[in-house]
Amino acid sequence: MHAVHVRLCRYADRRAPGARTSAIARTRFIDDVVTRWVGDGIRQVVVWCRLRQPRAHRMAVLARATVFEVDRPDTQQAKRAVLARRSSVASVRYVPVDFLRDDLGSARRRRLERGRRGRASSGRA
């Protein structure tokens, strides 16, 4: 398996020099900043997702925060189906946004309204 990984990395580096290493550096930078902020007391994190980026589910430090994951509804549905078979370290609240029609404000209002209805119907205030 290691040999296949090495070959794929070399191929990717030849096809798009710097793209893979840039993505690795960007991911590490964002992870370091999030870790520092949560360590400093931040308790809510908003993650704008791209594709199936699992940051909220792979960073142990996020167990101390509530993560709001903003992404397309279809992408979130696919991710949740995969994650249902795995354990997650974070408390993730999914905020579905159709980026062609919605804005974050309207999506957040819908999410809050659903939350209020859910609490009322479950008997909790």
pLDDT in tens, 35-90: 999 999 999 998 887 656 678 788 889 989 998 888 888 888 888 888 777 766 66
At 2 the pLDDT is 84
**Average pLDDT, stretch 13-40?**
92
Q: What is the mean pLDDT of residues 21-25?
A: 89
32 vs 80, residue with greater confidence: 32
> Residues 82, 53: contact at Cβ < 8 Å?
no
Q: Torsion angle, CA of 25/29/32/35, rounded to 10 degrees?
A: -120
Instruction: Calculate mean pLDDT across residues 84-105.
Output: 78
- DSSP-based three-state secondary structure for 110: helix
pTM of the model: 0.68
Within a 10 A sphere around the Cβ of 52, how many other Cβ atoms?
12
Q: Which residue has the tokens 């520092």?
A: 36
Q: What does each C-alpha distance from 26 to 14, 18, 20, 21, 120 come to in angstroms?
A: 20, 12, 10, 9, 42
Contact 89, 64 (CB under 8 A): no
Q: What is the pLDDT of residue 121?
A: 36
Q: What is the mean pLDDT of residues 6-33?
A: 90
Q: Which residues lie across from 108 on neighbouring strands?
A: none
Give the pLDDT of residue 80.
Answer: 82
Encoding tokens for residue 61?
């430090």
Residue 90: what pLDDT? 65
Buried b (16+ CB within 10 A) or exposed e, 18-32: eeeeeeeeeeeeeee
